[in-house]
Chain A
Amino acid sequence: MSLDNSSRRDFIAAGILGSIAVAGCSSPFDPAANEVVKPSGEMVKLLSVDGEIIEVDKAFLKPVPELSAMTNQAERMGIPGRKFVMVIDLSRCKNLKKCQASCNHAHQIHPDQNWIKLHPVQESEKTAPYWQPTTCMHCDEPPCVKVCPVDATFKRQDGIVLIDSDRCIGCRFCMAACPYSTRVFNWEELDLPKAIAEKPYSCETSMPQKVGTVGKCDFCPDMVRKGELPHCVSACPNGVFFFGDSNEDSVTNGAETFRFSELLRDKAGYRLMEDLGTKPSVYYLPPVNRNFAFEGEDQGDVKH
């Protein structure tokens, strides 16, 4: 499904940045911009911002510094008119943990940590156990956002709760406040590939994670802007995760698409800890008519 037409805008933005860099001496991003460059004599033809073809000496060309295509303000606003939701179908989950692995890889998080967790759940002794993946619930009344002293974690108009790791002071009040224990803390400097570590932080990619700040599942808004599904959704071979927009009233796991309201109605969807009043954006479908028997390497962890 097409979620946004931002790729065209990205292309234009890249083009503008490119031409600024071509101008060489006027680049505001390069501290060494004013140094004298010797012309090599080799000329390159380029298209200027005004649409004219110009010739520039090759020596004046510099690589464009990688900048986030979005401003922090735009990242904090969210995508207008959208309300993102997730539906997790418990009857399909087999504890393969592909969601977890793809999420960990995509966000380059600490090897000890997971933003997605797979809980073995058994409501009571006589009821059947099942696997329950948990993500950030992206609550509509987010307790974490309520307590943040510096507006480092925020709720966007499209329903997504994100973290600004350039602002977070690391007080961890949000971690204490979250009843779903969804938040993790970067206790030490991460061992990231240089290319990722040097990127400026983006709230939408949640990368690169920074030492002394909090991290969590972000609903992959960067993927959504590209018109793609969050990593966990596309990684799951059993189609457990459905992602979509409640304003459009549709959710999809990539292969199947449902009307969001009908799916919840027909399969008796529910949310976790409804009684706390946090109003999560993540819904669960009960583990009935299950595709797989409950088994797993660590079912001993089941809590009644």
Chain B
Amino acid sequence: MEISAKNKIIQDLLPQKFGKPGKIWVSVLLLFCAVGMYAYYRQLTKGLVVTGLRDYVSWGIYISNFVFFVAISLVGSLITAVLRLSDVHWSTPLTRIAEIIAVSAITFASLIIIVDMGRPERFYNLFIHGRLQSPIMWDVIVITTYFFVSILLLYFPLLPDLAILIKLKGKTTTWLDRIYHFLGSFWKNTTEQINISNKAVNILSITIIPVAFAIHTVTSWLFATTYRPGWDSTNFGAYFISGAFLVGAGGVIVAMYVFRKSYKLEKYITDSHFDKMGKVLVLLALLYLYFNVNEFLVPAFKMKKSEEEHLLGLFTGEFSVLFWFAITTAMIIPIIILLFKGGRKPLPAFIAGVLVVIGSWFKRYLIVTPTLLHPFLPMRDVPANYRHYFPSWEEWAIAMGSLAGAMLVITFFARIFPIIPIQETITETEELAHEKV
């Protein structure tokens, strides 16, 4: 390949300074984080009494937010591992986007679960008194594993790009240079290094698939291992996994669109990428819909007494508006949009992705809360505010702050590192050129 073409790719994909919209975006996110941190400070000093949680509804939007984060993080394994191992090449420019979403989401999943704890300062008890029999311990183990495997899957493919960035020294500011040197100065692009790296990425790609399945299956078991109507379901693992891939793929489409617009990456994230990701999203939405039908239709057919109150609350009662909103926005409308070729153009696909993400967030809320409002023994001998749940402003602030924090991590990552792998893009362009010859 000609040097000029190569340089063009490098120039196109270098991380860029924030423009005006970038600065506004970062400021807004920082503001959300600051409000969230203030709310958490209040919670730390006053206790969980600042939340809307009480004895019957003892898990609320912190936990549903946790489930949401774990879910969206699964996309890292889908794009990097599943597509890589099945020898799909079109997804190469999307791998880093998917992987940083995974890393940032799983980080905030861990943080939000600490926020939910009544005694966060006793977190170390999990290590000194940990009981392996508890599904929470399984979650701690698999989430930690997933975090490290994801970090490595982000880091190894970054090394050749770091070498390119270091070579361009002088064109970037010093603090960035220091980061690049610290992370990648040992990388000399030798054949031996490349072989080791490729091998490592292959091993990690194979490892991450069962770990990814484990994180979300175990998360579903936090609910499914209890007796409660709405949670006591053998469908839960598959139901959670399929929903997780759906929201993750939706998140990737949203990120693709935003990065393409703001970094002018039309040549690298093409219409064809949206078309293909759109098809993936339809497939995943249909799959999730299938598990939803299983999850609700089968118990509704029987209408066991203990399930009845819960199911009717979702279908026609207190939660029906939210329930049908979540089903339509997370699945039905995106399926309709994306089934048409025109719907898989960047803008409509982006809208479908946004709908999937929003619908999925509320879907997690519906998985956690309504069940708790229908205990086996009816609610009794408690004040009126124990019988309902609506998140307090502190809970909203913390939940929104954590979402903003996750987006901030992704934003800063794209500011520091190339969000589309430079070296891999060059290699693939070269291979393509070879094939043509």
Q: Which residues between 219 and 272 of chain B lie within 8 Å of chain A, taking CB atoms? A: 222-223, 225-228
Chain A residue nearest to B383 (CB atoms) is: A112
Asked if A189 is an interface residue, CB under 8 A from chain B, the answer is yes
Asked if A303 is an interface residue, CB under 8 A from chain B, the answer is yes
Could you jot down 14 A-B contacts, CB within 8 Å? Answer: A112-B386, A119-B377, A146-B133, A149-B126, A150-B126, A179-B376, A180-B377, A181-B56, A181-B377, A185-B58, A187-B47, A187-B48, A187-B49, A188-B49
Among listed A48-56, A166-174, A261-269, interface-contacting one: A166-174
Asked if B137 is an interface residue, CB under 8 A from chain A, the answer is yes
Does B134 contact A148, Cβ atoms closer than 8 Å?
Answer: yes
Asked if B55 is an interface residue, CB under 8 A from chain A, the answer is yes
Q: Contacts A146-B133, A151-B129, A167-B129 known; A117 to B380 CB distance under 8 Å? A: yes
Does B381 contact A118, Cβ atoms closer than 8 Å?
Answer: yes
Interface size for A (C-beta < 8 A) is: 45
Asked if A202 is an interface residue, CB under 8 A from chain B, the answer is no
**Bound Cα distance from A114 to B383, whole angstroms:** 11
**Bound Cα distance from A169 to B136, whole angstroms:** 12
Asked if A197 is an interface residue, CB under 8 A from chain B, the answer is no
Asked if A186 is an interface residue, CB under 8 A from chain B, the answer is yes
Asked if B135 is an interface residue, CB under 8 A from chain A, the answer is yes
Does A172 contact B122, Cβ atoms closer than 8 Å?
Answer: no
Does A167 contact B381, Cβ atoms closer than 8 Å?
Answer: no
A: residues with CB less than 8 A from B are: 100, 112-114, 117-119, 134, 143, 146-152, 167-173, 175-177, 179-181, 183-189, 211-214, 272-273, 276, 301, 303
B: residues with CB less than 8 A from A are: 46-49, 51, 53-56, 58-59, 116-120, 122-123, 125-126, 129-131, 133-137, 140, 222-223, 225-228, 372, 375-383, 386
**Bound Cα distance from A173 to B226, whole angstroms:** 9
Does A168 contact B119, Cβ atoms closer than 8 Å?
Answer: yes
Q: Which residues of B contact A151 (CB under 8 A)?
A: 129, 131
**Bound Cα distance from A114 to B382, whole angstroms:** 8
Does B53 contact A169, Cβ atoms closer than 8 Å?
Answer: no
- Say whether chain B's binding surface is mostly helix, strand, loop, or mixed: loop
Q: Which residues of B contact A179 (CB under 8 A)?
A: 226-228, 375-376
Min CB distance A264 to B, Å, is: 22
Min CB distance B78 to A, Å, is: 29
Min CB distance B202 to A, Å, is: 34
Q: Which residues of B contact A143 (CB under 8 A)?
A: 226-227
Q: Contacts A119-B380, A187-B53, A188-B49 known; A170 to B118 CB distance under 8 Å? A: yes
Q: Which residues of A contact B54 (CB under 8 A)?
A: 185, 187
Q: Which residues of A contact B123 (CB under 8 A)?
A: 169
Does A301 contact B378, Cβ atoms closer than 8 Å?
Answer: yes
Min CB distance A174 to B, Å, is: 10
With A119-B380, A177-B225 known, 6 other A-B pairs at CB within 8 A are: A169-B122, A170-B118, A185-B58, A187-B49, A273-B376, A301-B378
Does A113 contact B122, Cβ atoms closer than 8 Å?
Answer: no
Chain B residue nearest to A177 (CB atoms) is: B226
**Bound Cα distance from A173 to B113, whole angstroms:** 12
Does B117 contact A180, Cβ atoms closer than 8 Å?
Answer: no
Does B227 contact A172, Cβ atoms closer than 8 Å?
Answer: no
